[in-house]
Structure 1
Amino acid sequence: MKRPFTVVLADDHAIVREGLKLLLSTVDDVVIAGEAADGEGVFTALKQGSIDLLVLDLGMPGVTGLQFIRSLRESFGRLKILVLTANFEPRMVRAAIEAGVDGYLTKHDDPAELVRAIDAIRQGETYLATAIRFATDDGSGPRAAGEPLADALSPIALTRRERQILALVAHGATARDMAERLGISPLTARKHRENLMRKLDLHSAAELTAFAVRLGLPAG
Structure 2
Amino acid sequence: MPIKILIADDHALLRQGIKNVLALEADFCVVGEAIDGEDAIEQAKNLQPDIVLLDINMPKMNGLEVTREIRARLPRMRVVILTIHDDENYVFEVVRSGAAGYLLKDVEPSMLVQAIRLINEGQSFIYPTLTRSLFDEISRRDEVVSMLDKRKEERLTYREIEVLKLVGEGMSNIEIADKLYLSQKTVKNHLTNIFRKISVGDRTQAVLYAIKNKIVVIE
1:6 CA displacement: 0.5
Give the structure 2 partner of residue 41 of structure 1: 39
Aligned pair partner of 1:98 in 75, 96, 117: 96
Q: Equivalent residues in 2 for 1:44-193 (5 A)?
A: 44-138=42-136
Secondary structure (helix, strand or coil) at the match of 2:24 reads coil
Give the structure 1 partner of residue 16 of structure 2: 18
What amino acid maps onto 1:99 in structure 2? S
**Higher helix fraction (1 or 2):** 2
TM-score (norm 1): 0.59
What is the distance in 2 between the residues matched to 1:21 and 1:109?
14
What amino acid maps onto 2:96 in structure 1? E
Question: Structure 1 residues 49, 64: closer, same or farther in 2, change over 3 A?
Answer: closer
1:139 CA displacement: 10
Structure 2, unmatched stretches of 5+, are 140-219
Secondary structure (helix, strand or coil) at the match of 1:137 reads helix
1:111 CA displacement: 2.4
1:57 CA displacement: 0.1
Q: Equivalent residues in 2 for 1:189-204 (5 A)?
A: none
Q: Figure out how many residues of one structure are paired with residues of the other and give that number.
A: 139
What is the distance in 2 between the residues matched to 1:65 and 1:23?
22
Alpha-carbon deviations, 1:111-153, whole Å to 9, x = none? 2221111111022110001121243334979xxxxxxxxxxxx
What is the distance in 1 between the residues matched to 2:114 and 2:43?
24
1:109 CA displacement: 2.3
What is the distance in 1 between the residues matched to 2:137 and 2:26?
34
1:50 CA displacement: 2.4
Secondary structure (helix, strand or coil) at the match of 1:27 reads coil
1:49 CA displacement: 2.7
Secondary structure (helix, strand or coil) at the match of 2:133 reads helix
What is the distance in 2 between the residues matched to 1:40 and 1:26?
29
Q: Please say which structure displays the higher CA radius of gyration.
A: 2
1:31 CA displacement: 0.4
What is the distance in 1 between the residues matched to 2:107 and 2:63?
21
What is the distance in 2 between the residues matched to 1:50 and 1:70?
16
What is the distance in 1 between the residues matched to 2:85 and 2:61?
14
TM-score (norm 2): 0.59
Give the structure 2 partner of residue 189 of structure 1: none
What is the distance in 1 between the residues matched to 2:24 and 2:128?
22
1:72 CA displacement: 1.3
Structure 1, unmatched stretches of 5+, are 142-220
